């Protein structure tokens, strides 16, 4: 039997099973950021993880590579494939720091402000990353790979970069160790549509070289066109994951449909109801409690096609129900 | 009407607006589109009387305004509310949302502040529980709703939204757009500034391109 969230015929580089993440607050409450996540990231594929702000998706990248605060509670398995297979959740931090982060799993952070040392030039930052990570590709080639001209950019300081250029430098830095997996946290944040589409195109080009790319984003307009697979998260749970065209155009679950309907070109209607705080999620389906509508009560993902998984939704939206 | 005529403005030696005309009409949402760095935020701040112009005039309901910022007459400044891109940067982290919303009411020495705050809270879907929280305890969307409530607390005739939804997710963006549409339907003249044409097409009554508003573009946009 195939595991939930699997993609038959496309061996995953990263295979997430039963991942739950809880973050402790000072007042003793727990933020339930990720609940029972099953998802595969196949090689050569862009996977978009979409959802509203505050659904828990922003915690995922940090959780996968051991960057959460020590008080976080994490359970599940995250299998990293390759010559030296590894369960990232069982690996100790030394292994993650010296063998995984940057080398096998790259992170493209949301904000250039904190990720780029302000006193170093772009060229110096990149060369240092290449040396530290033992990368085989020199800094100038990394810049070319993200469509920047090394002659014009290597001598610039971070504050001299436009928003779009800064995002591309962050991507070049993430590529310094030539990782098999790229995790991107809101990679188009703050960019205008043209620059956002450009950055999304660059990330898709990385998938074409064989990398597994995860875009964690609420910028659906920019990211959906380059996605091969789409996962949709609400109140800490992925409720549907499958081929991009199916999930975007014919979702089975009513939440993805509601989220797409909020886009300006698809109705511009807010998703109904307010999401409950992640400190206070019900044991049953938070979405259908919020929005009403029929819920099968089955919160685990079930297959509707070999590569398409859905929980508790109502059957194909708009098809006779 | 809120009008800008022949506005020239910029930063020091750097001129970004070279003789620009713009009209914001009561009861309508005027969309203003342009790429990053084109000067549309500068124009938004000029018509909101927050940024100085080196030439040109701004009139509020027929009254020509001299000066900008605190040099502009307070009663004219109060006719125009403004909402910015980052609600976090636009709010004091030490104030509760209730204090954020009440701030202009206190500054204008209005009585009945409590009642007005309650009205605004209902209008912008802010529960009592939310009103007592600090900015770091609420979402970006909830904080932007509070900023919107603050911007219209003194019932301005005009509202300028400068990339007010750029950092928000699609559902929150649609919510803010609906609330602003409600204000326009009640008579407020809205200027909605964004680099996102798809957003403005869905949100505004008509969409202007900043490039076409320059006198030297010689394009008629008044139709
Ligand atoms: Zn349900």
> pLDDT tens, B134-147?
999 898 899 999 99
Nearest to A271 among B167, B171, B203 (CB): B171
User: Quick check: is A1 in a domain?
Assistant: no
- Is B178–A270 a contact, with Cβ atoms under 8 angstroms apart? yes
User: Quick check: is A273 in a domain?
Assistant: yes
Which tokens is A317 given? 């939206």
Looking up residue A40, the CATH number of its domain turns out to be 3.40.50.300
User: Quick check: is B87 in a domain?
Assistant: no
Q: For residue range A32-84, what is the model confidence (pLDDT) as tens digits?
A: 999 999 999 999 999 999 999 989 998 999 999 999 998 899 999 999 998 89
Q: For residue range B150-190, what is the model confidence (pLDDT) as tens digits?
A: 999 999 999 999 999 998 999 999 999 999 999 999 999 99
Strand, coil or helix: A18: strand
User: Quick check: is A319 in a domain?
Assistant: no
CA-closest candidate to residue A171, choices A142, A197, A191, A151 = A142
- B168 interaction partners in chain A (CB closer than 8 Å): 53
User: Quick check: is B91 in a domain?
Assistant: no
Q: For residue range A257-311, what is the model confidence (pLDDT) as tens digits?
A: 999 999 999 999 999 998 899 999 999 999 999 999 889 889 999 999 999 999 9
Q: In terms of domains, do B7 and B71 share one?
A: yes
Q: What is the pLDDT of residue A42?
A: 96
Q: What is the pLDDT of residue B108?
A: 61
Q: In terms of domains, do B105 and B173 share one?
A: no
Dihedral through CA A6, CA A78, CA A299, CA A215, nearest 10? -70
First-last CA distance in chain B:
16
CA B187 vs. chain centroid, Å, equals 15
Q: In terms of domains, do B70 and B164 share one?
A: yes
pLDDT band at A321 (very low <50, low <70, confident <90, very high): very low
- A262 interaction partners in chain B (CB closer than 8 Å): 170-171, 173-174
Q: In terms of domains, do B57 and B7 share one?
A: yes
Nearest to B141 among A53, A163, A263 (CB): A53
Q: What is the rounded CA–CA span in Å between residue A12 and residue A232?
A: 19
Q: In terms of domains, do B8 and B69 share one?
A: yes
pLDDT band at B222 (very low <50, low <70, confident <90, very high): very low
User: Quick check: is A198 in a domain?
Assistant: yes
Strand, coil or helix: A144: helix
Range of the domain at A218: 14-310
Nearest to B35 among A194, A220, A262 (CB): A194
- The number of distinct structural domains making up chain A is 1
CA-closest candidate to residue A25, choices A62, A72, A67 = A72
* B109 pLDDT above the threshold of 70: no
Q: For residue range B91-102, what is the model confidence (pLDDT) as tens digits?
A: 999 999 999 999
First-last CA distance in chain A:
29
User: Quick check: is B29 in a domain?
Assistant: yes
What is the ipTM score, two decimals? 0.88
In Å, what is the CA distance from B29 to each residue of A140, A231, B149, B190, B196? 47, 35, 18, 5, 15
Which tokens is A205 given? 């080009």
Range of the domain at B22: 2-79+158-222
pTM, to two decimals: 0.91
User: Quick check: is B89 in a domain?
Assistant: no
Q: In terms of domains, do B12 and B74 share one?
A: yes
Last residue of a domain, one of B107, B139, B155: B155
For residue A319, the CA-to-ligand 1 centroid distance in Å is 18
Q: In terms of domains, do B20 and B121 share one?
A: no
Strand, coil or helix: A246: helix
Q: In terms of domains, do B49 and B16 share one?
A: yes
Element (H, E) at B141: helix B140-151
User: Quick check: is A18 in a domain?
Assistant: yes
- The number of distinct structural domains making up chain B is 2
Q: In terms of domains, do B16 and B114 share one?
A: no
In Å, what is the CA distance from A116 to each residue of A121, A125, A198, A213, B150? 9, 8, 20, 22, 35
User: Quick check: is A106 in a domain?
Assistant: yes
């Amino acid at each position: 039997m195939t595991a939930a969230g699997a993609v038959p015929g496309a061996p995953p580089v990263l295979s997430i099973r039963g991942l739950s993440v809880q973050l402790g607050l000072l007042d003793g409450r727990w933020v339930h950021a990720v609940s029972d996540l099953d998802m595969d990231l196949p090689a050569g594929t862009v996977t978009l993880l979409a959802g509203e702000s505050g659904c828990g998706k922003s915690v995922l990248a940090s959780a996968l590579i051991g960057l959460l605060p020590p008080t976080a509670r994490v359970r599940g398995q995250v299998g990293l494939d390759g010559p030296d297979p590894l369960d990232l959740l069982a690996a100790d931090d030394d292994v993650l720091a010296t063998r995984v982060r940057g080398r096998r799993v790259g992170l493209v952070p949301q904000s250039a402000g904190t990720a780029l040392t302000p006193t170093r030039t772009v060229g110096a930052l990149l060369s240092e990353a290449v040396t530290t990570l033992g990368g085989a590709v020199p800094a100038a080639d990394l810049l070319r790979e993200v469509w920047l001209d090394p002659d014009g950019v290597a001598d610039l300081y971070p504050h001299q970069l436009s928003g779009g250029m800064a995002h591309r430098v962050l991507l070049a830095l993430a590529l310094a160790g030539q990782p098999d997996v790229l995790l991107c946290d809101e990679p188009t944040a703050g960019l205008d549509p043209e620059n956002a589409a450009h950055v999304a195109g660059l990330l898709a080009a990385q998938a074409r070289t064989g990398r597994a790319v995860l875009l964690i984003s609420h910028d659906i307009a920019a990211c959906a066109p380059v996605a091969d697979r789409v996962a949709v998260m609400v109140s800490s749970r992925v409720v549907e994951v499958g081929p991009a065209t199916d999930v975007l155009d014919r979702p089975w679950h009513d939440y993805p449909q509601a989220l797409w309907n909020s886009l300006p070109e698809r109705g511009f209607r807010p998703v109904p109801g307010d999401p409950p705080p992640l400190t206070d999620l019900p044991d049953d389906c938070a979405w259908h409690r919020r929005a009403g509508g029929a819920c099968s009560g089955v919160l685990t993902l079930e297959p509707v096609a070999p590569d398409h998984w859905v929980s508790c939704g109502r059957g194909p939206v708009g098809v006779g129900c | 009407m809120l009008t800008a005529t022949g506005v020239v403005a910029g930063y020091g030696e750097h001129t970004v607006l070279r003789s620009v005309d713009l009209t914001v009409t009561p009861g309508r949402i005027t969309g203003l589109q342009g790429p990053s760095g084109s000067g549309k935020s500068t124009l938004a701040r000029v018509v909101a009387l927050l940024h100085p112009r080196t030439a040109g005039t701004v009139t509020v309901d027929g009254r020509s305004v001299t000066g900008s910022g605190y040099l502009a007459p307070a009663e004219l400044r109060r006719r125009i509310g403004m909402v910015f891109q980052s609600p976090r940067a636009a709010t004091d982290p030490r104030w509760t949302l209730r204090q954020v919303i009440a701030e202009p009411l206190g500054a204008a020495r209005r009585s009945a502040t409590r009642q007005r705050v309650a009205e605004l809270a209902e209008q912008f879907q802010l529960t009592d529980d939310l009103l007592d929280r600090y900015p770091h305890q609420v979402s970006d969307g909830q904080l932007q709703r509070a900023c919107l409530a603050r911007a219209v607390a003194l019932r301005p005739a005009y509202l300028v939204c400068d990339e007010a939804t750029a950092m928000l997710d699609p559902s929150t963006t649609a919510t803010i757009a609906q609330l602003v549409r409600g204000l326009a339907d009640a008579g407020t003249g809205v200027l909605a500034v964004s680099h996102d044409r798809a957003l403005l097409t869905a949100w505004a009554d008509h969409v202007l391109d900043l490039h076409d508003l320059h006198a030297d573009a010689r394009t008629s946009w008044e139709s």
